[in-house]
Every structure is written in structure tokens, then in C-alpha cells.
Amino acid sequence: MSLIVDGLTKSYSKHVQALKHVSFSVSERESIGIVGESGSGKSTLAKILLGLETYKEGSITFNGEPIAPKKRALLRQYRKNVQMIFQDSTSTLNPKLPIWRSVLEPLDNYKEVTPSFIEVEGKSRKEVAVQLLEMVGLTSEMADRYPWELSGGQKQRVSIARALSIEPSLLVCDEPTASLDVTVQMLILNLLKDFKETFNMSIIFISHDIRAVAFLCEKIIVLKDGSIVDEFRIEDIYDNDRHPYTKALIRAASIE
Ligand SMILES: Nc1ncnc2c1ncn2[C@@H]1O[C@H](COP(=O)(O)OP(=O)(O)OP(=O)(O)O)[C@@H](O)[C@H]1O
Ligand SMILES: [Mg+2]
């Protein structure tokens, strides 16, 4: 897996420049954290990476191939490899579907994929879904429920199971724990950390919380007003030459 983002620039209007020449790369098994305050451009970046938002300048290269909206076959392959978890799983789970059907959506879209970690042979679709739910610590009893019958943390686990079902090589998480209370946040972060190791997956983890990012990621990128102002490895987080804005984020996190 290799992702190269080069000079990405995005404006929503003359006055709103959400991203300014953003460049970074993610390699195999690497986890990159992107932190910044509200409005710094984090979700815009996530949406562009997933092909859900257009951009004016710059390029995205995945495994050596430039990703452009018009190359449909390539885009399909890319979307299989790059999965996403959003802050609000309520909006991404179809309210009309029982949980087990939602979990299977990616596998239904990519019928050619047989995940290595799941026994599909002789299993019904629902049994496959239950295996996925169990993988994220949920029970078979959840399978027939509807999204509104689950807690926020449980829904986020369903989103994780769904995203991992087709063994993506890169998982993009946009504030996946922001709407959860602190103990549930930790459980979800631990789950992601485990899966990162198990699946040899690369992660882009977006958060305003530098502590959450530091827990999961080896490298941190700091976004401010659409620009990268700092980039460092986690062991250098307390270095004196960190950008003043990074230091402010660390201070804010430690007194919260
Ligand atoms: N669809 C849109 N139309 C116009 N402006 C937008 C749109 N989406 C985002 N913006 C603007 O782009 C900038 C970056 O927004 P973005 O959602 O990427 O920030 P963020 O870092 O994800 O913030 P938060 O932490 O609050 O989620 C903001 O100034 C925002 O108002
Ligand atoms: Mg956001």
C-alpha cells in the first residue's frame, strides 16, 4: 500500500480555502494522525481521499496509479482498498436495514472478495455477518436489530466491522470516537489498534484530540487553516522545535 497526496488544494468559494497545498504520504502498515481544530480542513481532506469531494489542484496517487474521478474501474478498485469510518455512524447505517445486512454491504458490492479471516464455505450470508460482528466484540443477538436499537459505541463497532469486512489496505477514520464517552472511546481506539496489527493495515486517523492520535499513530500531521504547519514522528511530540500551534494543542489536551 502506498498513498501519495501532493499539493492538494481545495476551495469551496473565493473566501473559503479549505486546503492549501497539502502533501503527505502513507506507506504500508503506517498509521498517520491528522490533527487540527474545527474548520482546519480535516473532513474536507477525508472526503477528497474517498472521492466524495472534488478538488482543484494537486494529485492523489495510490499504489503508483493517479486516482482521477473519471477512471471508473480504477476508482472501484481504489474504493475497495480504502475504507472509511465517520464520526456519526447513524448517518452511514441504513435505518431500514437490520444490522447484519448493513455489515454485509461492502461484501455485497465486491462479490469477488473473500476475506481471509472469515470462513465463508458452507456459511449463510447471515452467519458471515455474525462472524464480522463477533470480531468487533458484538454478539449475534445484535444481528437482527436496527441501528436505532444500538448505542453510539455499538454502532461505531458495526461501522468498523463493515469497513474491515473486505480487508482494506487503508482505513480512513474521521473523528470516529468524537461522539462517544471517554471509556467507550478507549475501547474503540484499542479495537482499531488491534486490527491495525492483525490486518497489516495502514490508517489515516483524523481527530481534534491529539491524545487519541498519539495513542494510535506513528506519525502526526498538524493542519491549521488548511495548511500543514507541523509533521513529526510520535517520539518527537515533546521536542522543543514543535510548532507553537502543536504545543498549544498538547497543552489544551492535557488540561481538558
Ligand atoms: N460543503 C461546504 N461548502 C462550503 N464550505 C465548506 C463546506 N464544507 C466545509 N466547508 C468549510 O471548509 C473549511 C474546512 O471544513 P472541514 O469540515 O474540512 O473542517 P474540519 O477540520 O473537519 O472541522 P471539524 O473539526 O469541525 O469537523 C471550513 O471553513 C468549512 O466551513
Ligand atoms: Mg470534520
pLDDT tens per residue across span 234-252: 999 999 999 999 999 999 8
d(CA 203, CA 221): 13
The pLDDT value given to residue 255? 66
Q: Is the CB of 20 under 6 A from ligand 1?
A: no
DSSP symbol at 215: H
Domains and CATH numbers, the chain: 2-255 (3.40.50.300)
Counting ligand 1 atoms within 8 A of each CB, the residue from 13, 34, 44 with the most, and so the one to mutate, is 44
Closest ligand 1 atom to Cα of 45? 18
Q: Is the CB of 40 under 6 A from ligand 1?
A: yes
DSSP symbol at 104: T
Low-confidence ranges of the chain (pLDDT < 70): 69, 255-256
Mean pLDDT, the chain, whole residue set: 93
Cα 201 to chain centroid distance, Å, stands at 11
State the Rg of the chain over Cα.
Answer: 18
For residue 214, give Cα distances in angstroms to 111, 150, 205, 207.
Answer: 36, 29, 10, 10
Q: What is the pLDDT of residues 144-195, one digit of tens each?
A: 999 999 999 999 999 999 999 999 999 999 999 988 888 999 999 999 999 9
Q: Is the CB of 42 under 6 A from ligand 1?
A: yes
The pLDDT value given to residue 118? 84
Closest ligand 1 atom to Cα of 47? 18
**Residue 47: enclosing H or E segment and its boundaries?**
helix 42-49
End-to-end CA distance of the chain: 36
The pLDDT value given to residue 35? 97
Protein residue whose Cα sits closest to atom 24 of ligand 1? 38
